[in-house]
Amino acid sequence: MSRITARKRVTRITVATSRSVRDDLLAVEEPLEIRVGGNSLAITMRTPGNDVDLAAGFLVSEGVIARGDDFAAARYCAGATDEGLNTYNVLDVTLALGVPAPDPSLERAFYTTSSCGLCGKASIDAVRTTSQHAVHHDDLVLDPALLATFPDRLREAQDVFEKTGGLHAAALFDGTTGEMLVLREDVGRHNAVDKVVGWAVKEGRLPLSGTVLMVSGRASFELTQKASMAGIPVLAAVSAPSSLAVDLAKEVGITIVGFLRGQSMVVYSRPERITEPAPAPRETVSAP
């Protein structure tokens, strides 16, 4: 937890009431340079922790790898400072034998911020990446009552958010049983999703058929694309999707559910994956 959170001195003010100085916990944000075979591919701002998951998921999102067998190993690189120290902020990935190295055009022109997973794309054409895991024919059918439980379960499992109030979260649920398979937190919503997908890479679970990706914020184009690249048929969010996210979801066959709060939700694409709500039982009135 030491590198995930940092203790800082803050001044808390309540208007016309009080002013106090105290220590507070903040979510840590540090750069991670991802290398493949010793060659730099990207730098992303992230919360330290689950970095191998992050790198593996990022490579899936970029179309470099498509399954667990493509990912051989990863190690932190020493020599990141003038003193040759290991800052644990440079990770070098080794791909499996026979897996092609990333196309040089994928190299990010500049670093990716924690708020944007596409900022470093070299061209508009590079934004749309073709998935090897089609979800058009995924036969998952979701009970809306089960789906409605996911946001609260996501929130309850956010350990670092509970301490800092400053992290996004993404969780993967089994769409049939409702089991939470994995949850990851990060200052960047795209990083949290990459960490979830990277976990699936290491577990040999790609494609993620029959699953639901639940995110704590909005459903953006980049998150929809990441779901597509991992073969996830349903993306659910507590906030709204963007228009481009819905367009992409319709194109690739993903169900997007937004404003998933309490017992209500809005389905923006492929609504046939969400079953009809069960009718309320009728009251029977006895004859006098």
- Which are the catalytic amino acids? 116
CA distance 107 to 102: 8
Residue type at 74 in one-letter notation: A
Longest dimension (CA), the chain: 91
CA torsion, points 213, 218, 223, 227, in degrees to nearest 10? 20
Query: Where in 69-186 does DSSP place strands (E)?
Result: 71-76, 90-95, 168-174, 180-186
**Closest listed residue to residue 188, CA positions, set 86, 43, 71:** 43
As given in the structure block, the two tokens for residue 213 are 């990706």
CA distance 199 to 182: 8
CA torsion, points 96, 224, 5, 45, in degrees to nearest 10? 70
CA distances from 204 to 77, 163, 184, 263 (A): 25, 32, 18, 34
